[in-house]
Amino acid sequence: YGDQVIDPSVYLRELGMWGDVWRVRVYVGDELSASFVRDALAQRVAEELEEAGFALGTAQYVQMA
């Protein structure tokens, strides 16, 4: 990751974790980038993002419907 800004949605698609049920708030620096992930993978996705160097917002999960 380093200094390169990676779109979390691209990262999640590469992991096969891109869905449309839950929102994970992901910050790259101070900039918010919203990503959508499947319900069942929410915790794993959060861990993957943290390990990749993304900082998760305090309200991490928002159920969409």
Per-residue pLDDT for 34 more than 60? Answer: no
Residue 6 predicted with pLDDT over 50: yes
Residue spans of the domains in the chain: they are 8-60
pLDDT tens column, 35-59 = 554 555 666 777 777 777 766 654 3
pTM: 0.36
- Residue 10, φ and ψ in degrees, nearest 5: -65, -45
Cβ contacts of 17 within 8 Å, gap of 6 or more: 37, 38, 41, 44, 45, 48
Q: Give dist(CA 14, CA 39) in Å, integer.
A: 18
What 8-state DSSP symbol labels residue 61?
E
Work out the burial of residue 45: count CB atoms within 10 Å of its CB; fewer than 13 is exposed, 13-18 middle, 19 or more buried: buried
